[in-house]
Amino acid sequence: MRLTARPVAVREAVKLLRYAIAGFGNVGSALARHVHDRADRIARSYGLDVRLIGVCDRSGVLIDPSGLDGSEIARWRESGRPIGDHPGGPSSCEPEEFFAAGIDVLVVSLPTDRHTGMPGLKLARAAIGAGAHVVLADKGPALLALPELEREAATRGLTIGASATVGSSLPTLSFARRELAGAEIVEIAAVLNGTSNVILTGMRAEGKSFREALAEAQRAGIAEPDPSYDVEGWDTAVKLTILTRALMDERCRLDGVNPVGIDGLDPEIVERARVTKGRVRLVGRSIREDDGVRMTVAPEVVGAEDAFYLVEGPRKAVRFRTDDLGDLVVSGGASGRRDVAAALLRDMLASVACSSPSNAATGDRRRDR
């Protein structure tokens, strides 16, 4: 199988960034298309030829060391056909095959179990062992083991990208680590679930029913396959736990959160919002207390003076309260397929930026193996 002609600028790019996607569902195919469509821009801006070397789903693994056509393989997936049926000829069902082909970055986008993190966690560890950076779209490995994976990766000069697990295009982890360095975070409060916010906005601003507004989030491809995960507050709880473990206290666990979602919204909250001219938001909150960090997820009424008031529809926001740097709010990035793909690309490019000139992008690590 092969590549359509690459634009001249790409052929002239001096460094190769070879990546593979494990788990080729909506997110994986969106990333393949996103990178393909921006190849020219990436080459011009970064001097990088970002090349898709392999993809896999449950039906098989497709590898072409010279590069797959991201647009073609995304169309294949979007027409509902499994990788195992692709004429390029799947080589096996073992994603570990990617490492033999030599990749710089593995994007893990498998359906993952949030109780075990498997199979994504195992694959992420294997990628580090093989000398590849890891970019996680799966929340399972990030939820259970992000700090541990980061330590393992750092010993080998590698990075773990996790933007897509904690707000995607909304900078959360990277913002806190860079911009809050040296200060202590005493509270994180965040609107992190686009589906819930689309529903709350649609009900309030457009008079939609819960079901109609949920259907809108589903049409936009934002809601999870089982939307109860969104509306019961679990998606917010998972993202909050990943952030809290990475930024405040690694001992925090998802089972320490008892989320209250927006399904069966308490009429008292709706009435309070109406009377006070406030807006309801599903807020995840981690507060540092004397005996540890307390995490909650619950609907709250926010007034016009609150930064979350204008966070409407699929948009998100996070507020960090710190001891030395005051309160900082990041607002914007929305839920959506393009936003996730863009966040994954951002993490891939960041992994190259973190590498020394002699490693990933130039392929030296591969030769060392």
Binding positions for ligand HSE, 232-251, rule CB under 6 A: 235
**Separation of alpha carbons 30 and 32, rounded Å:** 6
Shortest separation between residue 238's beta carbon and ligand HSE, angstroms: 9
Pairing of strands 133-136, 105-108: parallel
Sign of CA dihedral 30, 36, 40, 46: positive
In the complex with ligand HSE, the residue whose CB is nearer, 48 or 135, is: 135
Q: Does residue 201 interact with ligand HSE by CB under 6 A?
A: no
Binding positions for ligand HSE, 276-335, rule CB under 6 A: 335
In the complex with ligand HSE, the residue whose CB is nearer, 102 or 259, is: 259
The tokens of 29 are what? 């195919």
Q: Does residue 193 interact with ligand HSE by CB under 6 A?
A: yes
Q: Does residue 202 interact with ligand HSE by CB under 6 A?
A: no
- List, in sequence order, every residue forming a beta bridge with 327; answer none if it has no partner: 321
Candidates 205-213, 223-231, 298-306, 358-366 — which segment interacts with ligand HSE by CB under 6 A?
223-231
Shortest separation between residue 18's beta carbon and ligand HSE, angstroms: 27
Q: Does residue 223 interact with ligand HSE by CB under 6 A?
A: yes
Shortest separation between residue 8's beta carbon and ligand HSE, angstroms: 37
For tokens 């900078």, the residue is: 171
Q: Name the helix (H) or strand (E) containing 178.
A: helix 173-179
- Note whether 9 and 43 are within 8 A (CB): yes
**Separation of alpha carbons 167 and 368, rounded Å:** 35
In the complex with ligand HSE, the residue whose CB is nearer, 42 or 311, is: 311
In the complex with ligand HSE, the residue whose CB is nearer, 232 or 235, is: 235
**Separation of alpha carbons 86 and 73, rounded Å:** 9
Shortest separation between residue 260's beta carbon and ligand HSE, angstroms: 17
- Note whether 64 and 18 are within 8 A (CB): no
The residues that touch ligand HSE, with contacts defined as CB under 6 A, are 193-195, 222-224, 230, 235, 335
